[in-house]
Amino acid sequence: NAGVTQTPKFQVLKTGQSMTLQCAQDMNHEYMSWYRQDPGMGLRLIHYSVGAGITDQGEVPNGYNVSRSTTEDFPLRLLSAAPSQTSVYFCASKGTSSNQPQHFGDGTRLSIL
Amino acid sequence: AQSVTQLGSHVSVSEGALVLLRCNYSSSVPPYLFWYVQYPNQGLQLLLKYTSAATLVKGINGFEAEFKKSETSFHLTKPSAHMSDAAEYFCAVSATGFQKLVFGTGTRLLVSP
């Protein structure tokens, strides 16, 4: 059981470049989320989705786009990378029952030069 | 709105000593509360959760936490620290179950021999 798979694990970009961080889950979970983790700030919610075709903004959505065309996939797009987006990005998913926990991927470490 | 405050960005203990990691929350509705652990270069793993059932919650790896509404606290404890407990610990709150988690800034636990 793969759980939540994030690719790539590491990436270096130049300012202004675009990129898509991939997230896939094989647990048939309806809820999926993207967080960014920065030193001393914990994890902050970027965007989330409650099902295919439905997305919404979290706490820090600026500079990021998402879409949810399938239950399994929830890609995060940086349209024009900025140094402030240097961070570790985590994708998470959970089922619809309130007793089910969020399952996290291992993260993507992104550096913007 | 929900928020979490974790007191102490670093906590150092000796192997075999009591572990106490502090978490205070703010929530406009009865909260769901969680503790997650993050080992180096990995995603977050759920330690335990409070969902309005028993106020003393037992989790994995010998950790437990007590929900105290009067103190708005959800401190994490373990009677005897092991070297393998060295990691970063995050407290999180949600008003809607596990969706849209709000994380604290994290506490790094250091365990010395």
Q: Which residues of B touch A43 (CB under 8 A)?
A: 44, 90, 101, 103
For range B69-93, the mean pLDDT: 95
Report residue B40's pLDDT band, with 50, 70 and 90 as the boundaries: confident
For range B87-98, the mean pLDDT: 84
Smallest Cβ distance to B100: which of A48, A101, A106? A48
Q: Which residues of A touch B42 (CB under 8 A)?
A: 106-107
**What is the pLDDT, as a whole number, of residue B51?**
80
- pLDDT tens for each residue of A27-72: 999 999 999 999 888 899 999 999 999 999 999 999 999 999 999 9
**What is the pLDDT, as a whole number, of residue B32?**
87
The answer on pLDDT for B98 being more than 60 is: no
- pLDDT tens for each residue of B4-38: 999 999 999 999 999 999 999 998 777 889 999 99
The verdict on a CB contact (< 8 Å) between A58 and B100 is yes
Sequential DSSP letters for B42-109: S-EEEEEEE-SS-SEEE-GGG-EEEEETTTTEEEEEESS--GGG-EEEEEEEESBTTBS-EE---EEE
